[in-house]
């Protein structure tokens, strides 16, 4: 556990975050009293998805590429640009 006062955190927070290890935390103190704790977030393990994973699960209708009705299209325009 790393304990920092507010001034030290403002000055060197980036360096302390680089030194932080999984399971450790940084405790921020104000007037020597703990007020906040900073922990590393778990890094999700990501594996690449295989191409064609949902093949034959569904079909895209040909109408998918048709223009949207004007009423629906207006919903996506910025306010005042009608």
Domain residue spans in the chain? 2-39
DSSP state of 54: T
Torsion angle in degrees (nearest 10) through CA of 42, 47, 48, 50:
-140
pLDDT in tens, 9-57: 999 999 999 999 989 999 999 999 999 999 999 888 888 888 888 888 8
Of 17 and 78, the structure prediction assigns the larger pLDDT to: 17
Q: Is the pTM of this model over 0.75?
A: no
Tokens matching residue 39:
């922990």
Contact (CB, 8 A) for 2 and 27: yes
Check whether 82 has a pLDDT greater than 80.
no
Q: Are 1 and 16 in contact (CB under 8 A)?
A: no
Q: Which 3 state secondary structure label does DSSP give 37?
A: strand
């Amino acid at each position: 556990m790393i304990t920092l006062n507010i001034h030290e955190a403002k000055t060197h927070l980036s360096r302390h975050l680089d030194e932080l290890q999984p399971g450790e935390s940084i405790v921020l103190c104000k007037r020597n009293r703990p007020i906040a704790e900073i922990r590393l977030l778990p890094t999700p393990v990501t594996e690449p998805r295989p191409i064609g994973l949902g093949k034959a699960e569904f079909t895209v209708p040909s109408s998918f590429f048709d223009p949207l009705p004007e009423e629906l299209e207006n919903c996506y325009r910025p306010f005042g640009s009608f």
